[in-house]
Amino acid sequence: MIQTLDITFGYDSKDEVFKFPNINLKAKEHLLIVGKSGIGKTTLLHLLAGLLPIKTGSICINSTRIEDLSQKKLDAFRGEHIGLVFQRNHALKSLTVAKNLQARLFFSRKPINYKRINEVLTTLDLLDYKDKSIQTLSTGQLQRLGIAMAIIHNPKLILADEPTSSLDDENCENVMNLLLKEAQRHQANLVVITHDKRIVSKFSKVLML
Ligand SMILES: Nc1ncnc2c1ncn2[C@@H]1O[C@H](COP(=O)(O)OP(=O)(O)OP(=O)(O)O)[C@@H](O)[C@H]1O
C-alpha cells in the first residue's frame, strides 16, 4: 500500500520546486508513471524509495511514514521492503551474476535461497550466465540482472525506472510478465516509469506528470 500526500521536492542546486500529484495504491495495485523528459519521473521514484528527502508532504508505504525514519532505519526499510530497478545497473562488477543475487539477499537480511535464485535467473533467461562475471553481459542482460536484483528478496514495493527500454519484444514481454507475476505473488505494489508504449496496456492505473 502506498499513499503520498502533497509531496514537494527541490534539488539543492536548483530553485525549481517539484509538486507531485497524490498517489494512492491499495495492496496489489500497480501504477505506470508517464510524462515528458525532465518532468520529474525519476525524481518521484527516488522520493518513493527514500533515496531523496521530500521537502513537504508525506509518503506512507505499508503503514510506515518513511520521512519519520532515521537514515539507518530508512536504509534497512528500503533493503527489506523495496525493490528498485534503476536505469543504470548497480551490480557489483567484481562478482558473478549469482553472487550479486546472493549479496542482495544478504543485504536484505534474507536467507540465501539457491532455488529462488535459479528460478529468477531461468525466467529472465540468465541461467547460462549464473557463474559468469557481470562484465561479460550485454546491455539487455545487465538490465535483466537489474530486475533480478530488484525482486530476488520478495519486496512489498517494486519501483522500476524504464525496465524495458533496452529489451527486444520477447524479453520486454518476459520482464513485464515477471514483474507483474512477482508483484501478484507477494501482494506487492509495482510502480513503473516508462516511455515504452509496448507496456502501457498492462496497467490499469496511469499517472501523467
Ligand atoms: N541530482 C540532480 N541535481 C540537480 N538537478 C537534477 C538532478 N537530477 C535531476 N535533476 C533535474 O531535475 C529534473 C527532473 O529530472 P528527472 O530525471 O526526474 O526527469 P525524468 O522525467 O525522469 O526525465 P527522463 O524521462 O529524461 O528520464 C530535470 O530538469 C533534471 O535535470
The confidence score (pLDDT) of residue 167 equals 82
Q: pLDDT (tens digit, 9 = 90+) per residue, 112-130?
A: 989 999 999 998 889 999 9
Question: Which of residues 38 and 182 earns the better pLDDT score?
Answer: 38
How many domains are contained in the chain? 1
User: Are the C-beta atoms of residues 207 and 33 closer than 8 Å to each other?
Assistant: yes
Query: Which pTM value belongs to this model?
Result: 0.90
Span 126-148, average pLDDT? 91
Domain holding 36, by residue range, is 2-208
Which of 22-26, 34-38, 46-50, 162-166 is predicted least confidently? 162-166
Query: What SS3 string covers 146-194?
Result: HHHHHHCCCCCEEEEECCCCCCCHHHHHHHHHHHHHHHHHCCCEEEEEC
ipTM value: 0.97
- Residues at CB less than 6 angstroms from ligand 1: 11, 13-14, 35, 37-43
pLDDT at 134: 92
Average pLDDT, the chain: 92
Query: Residue 104 is which amino acid?
Result: R
Q: Which residue's CA is the closest to the ligand 1 atom numbered 26?
A: 37
Task: Give the model's pLDDT for residue 128.
Answer: 96
Residue nearest to atom 27 of ligand 1 (CA): 37
CA 39 to centroid of ligand 1, rounded, Å: 7
Residue 113 C-alpha cell reads as: 535461497
Using a pLDDT cut of 70, give the percent of the chain over it: 100
CATH number for position 199: 3.40.50.300
CA proximity to 45, closest of 56, 31, 28: 31
